[in-house]
Amino acid sequence: MTVNPPMSETPENDDVLLESTTLSTQPAAVQPPSGFGPRSLLRWAWRQLTSMRTALLLLFLLALAAVPGSLLPQQGNAPADVADWISRHGALGRLFERLSLFHVYSSPWFAAVYLLLFVSLIGCVVPRTRLHWRALRSRPPASPRNLSRLPVTRSFTTTATPQEVLDAAHRSLRRRRFRVDRLVGSVAAEKGYFRETGNLVFHLALVALLVGVAIGALYGTRGSAIVVEGSGFANTVTRYDSFSAGPLANPQRLDPFSFTLNKFSASYQEGGKQNGAPRSFTADVTVQDSPTATPRSQVVQVNEPLVVGGTKVFLVGHGYAPVVTVRDGEGRVVFSDAVPFLPRDGMFTSTGVIKAPDARPTQLGFQGIFLPTASIDPVRGPLSTFPAANDPALFLSLWKGDLGLDTGAAQSVYRLDVSRMTRVGLEAMRPGESWTLPDGLGTITFDGIKQYAALSIAQDPGKGIALGSVVVAIAGLLLSLFVPRCRVWVRATADDEGTTLVEIGGLARTEAGGLESEVDALRSDLPDEAAPGAREPIEEYR
């Protein structure tokens, strides 16, 4: 038993030994273009693109390209932060915007990197699939002339005939699930083909994953909506607060369901370091899967979305909606509704706006701060100290004048355009209280509080393909990493003294190990002395 020194001469069976250093059936290194014709140049470019080195480079580029999107705010996740970043950094911000750095993952250069990577992957995998298919149907490579050059070797002499030895080797290797080829005077065997199969399956599954992602991006839709307790939601585009659809999706054909939010409840950690941390959110809804279906009750929670057809409704947030009634100077009710306020901190200090464009003599607007558990911070002003509505208060500042709604420009329901208004009053209110507005402008009543659920509604027809692909990919990955692939040859030669010299050579084609024990097991199956009765030879000569 010896561990061989590195090979110093050209081995007889070059390809067999060379492969052991590349660990793969990957085609040989890229040659420079042999001519300057467009054909040869194209061939050269294609070979370059599909070489392992290029794949490596593209992998690093992909990793590198993904980084800025995590460092800079992204349009998709935080549009407000993007605008803020640009305005704070001036020229740099505008330059970054032109470089798509605020939507990295949908930018042309990011797409270029991953598409090139996938082209390179396909260009690599397709020829390898062909090679592997051929290898699967061909015999293991013939025995090299000098088995002692192989990395793992054993040799011994026996009184058994070469025929007996080779028969025993054949049986032993078969039992060990080797593919065995019987040659004149030797046996060649290989196993572990599943390794390359797994490798190819893994890479093809990645292509399928990309297809799944693309289908989702092209045909998927998603949007968000705020639904106040007691009110409903119908799954049509107009009911969404924000809505985005893939270029091939049909927003007119969304799943025709609707639901009513009966009650929203939340509980929070009381006291301790994590005071105010949310502990549970529950939305009780009544769902109708289609306009004609019978309504059913369901509870929607974080991690437990409402599923209707291919659409899922997720609970992603919540907040308070103070219910107010505004009467104008003439005593008419010009506004009466629950107004969703947006939370500004973890304790649900929330801000919102009430607009009464129909009020006379002038239009009225209110900027409000809602505090579920009210306190006044000497520095920061009105502040909530707990997210539950234990001691609610509504702080309103009253503006009169032109709300600017008649210009036709779209206006946020959460912002008051005060450019043509004047502030005329400030008041803190408790639920049930009314405020008689100054200058005979009317009254406002703080009727009560409702909660709202912020919902995300999404359908992604590609996600099944994506999930199936990654499951297959992981299976392929496991095969490609853990199946050892190796070749074993056994040669038996009769010598002058009437005994048989047996040589075993093993070549691991992977780093998975286990070849030594494989060869040792084979060795122990071979006869050390002649059998009493000759066995039937196995007739499989090449």
> Which positions touch other proteins (CB under 8 A)?
1-3, 21-24, 26, 29, 52-53, 55-56, 59-60, 62-63, 66-67, 69-70, 74, 76-77, 104-105, 151-152, 213, 222, 269, 272-274, 277-281, 301-303, 305, 312, 314, 316, 345-346, 456-458, 460, 463, 466-467, 470-471, 473-474, 477-478, 481-482, 511, 513-514, 516-517
The pairs formed by 338-342 with CB atoms below 8 angstroms and a separation of 24 or more are 338/228, 338/229, 338/230, 338/231, 338/450, 338/452, 339/368, 340/226, 340/228, 340/452, 341/368, 341/370, 342/414
Distance CA(31)–CA(14), nearest Å, equals 20
CB of 510 to other proteins, least distance (A): 10
Question: Least distance from C-beta 58 to other proteins, angstroms?
Answer: 9
Closest distance of CB 517 from other proteins, Å: 8
Q: Which of 502, 511, 510 is nearest to 172 (CA)?
A: 502
C-alpha–C-alpha distance, residues 126 and 149, integer Å:
33
CB nearer other proteins, residue 2 or residue 294: 2
Q: Whole-number minimum distance, CB 60 to other proteins, in Å? A: 6
Residue pair 228/261 in contact by the 8 Å Cβ criterion:
yes
**Among 154, 26, 62, 19, CA closest to 486:** 19
Which CB sits closer to other proteins, 78 or 538?
Answer: 78
CA distances from 361 to 243, 354, 368, 480 (A): 37, 17, 22, 78
**Residue position matching structure tokens 């050892």:** 484
Shortest CB 379 distance to other proteins, Å: 15
- Please classify residue 261 by burial: count the beta carbons closer than 10 Å to its beta carbon, then call 0-12 exposed, 13-18 middle and 19+ buried: buried
- By C-beta, is 500 or 510 nearer to other proteins? 510
Q: Given the structure tokens 């006869």, which residue do they identify?
A: 527
Q: Please state the closest distance from residue 414 (CB atom) to other proteins, in A.
A: 21
CA atoms of 44 and 34, how far apart (whole Å)? 8
Nearer to other proteins, 93 or 305 (CB): 305
Please say whether the beta carbons of 192 and 509 come within 8 A: yes
Q: How far is the CB of 291 from other proteins (least distance, A)?
A: 24
Nearer to other proteins, 147 or 421 (CB): 147
Q: Which amino acid is at 206?
A: L
Q: C-beta of 398: minimal distance to other proteins in Å?
A: 32
Taking the complex as a whole, the smallest distance from the CB of residue 280 to other proteins amounts, in Å, to 6
Nearer CB in complex with other proteins: 179/222: 222
Nearer to other proteins, 89 or 279 (CB): 279
For 99, how many CA atoms within 13 A lie in the half-sphere containing its CB? Answer: 12
- Phi, psi at residue 188, to the nearest 5°? -115, 140
Q: 178 or 314, CB closer to other proteins?
A: 314
How far apart are CB 529 and other proteins at their closest, in Å? 23
Q: How would DSSP label each residue in 223-235?
A: EEEEEETT-EEES
| DSSP secondary structure, 412-453, as one string | -TT----TTEEEEEEEEE-TT-EEEEGGGTEEEEEEEEEEEE
In angstroms, what is the minimal distance from the CB of 104 to other proteins?
8
Q: How many CB atoms lie within 10 A of CB 262?
A: 12
CB of 191 to other proteins, least distance (A): 17
Nearer to other proteins (CB atom), residue 353 or residue 465: 465
Instruction: Name which of 304 and 439 has its Cβ closer to other proteins.
Output: 304
Q: At what angle do helices 463-482 and 193-219 cross, to 10 degrees?
A: 160
Nearer to other proteins, 249 or 324 (CB): 249
**Closest CB to other proteins among 160 and 454?**
454
**Residues 140 and 190 sit within 8 Å (Cβ to Cβ):** yes
Contact predicate 485/511, CB 8 Å: no
Give Cα separations from 93 to 73, 76, 86, 346 (angstroms).
11, 17, 4, 30
Hey, what amino acid is at 488?
V
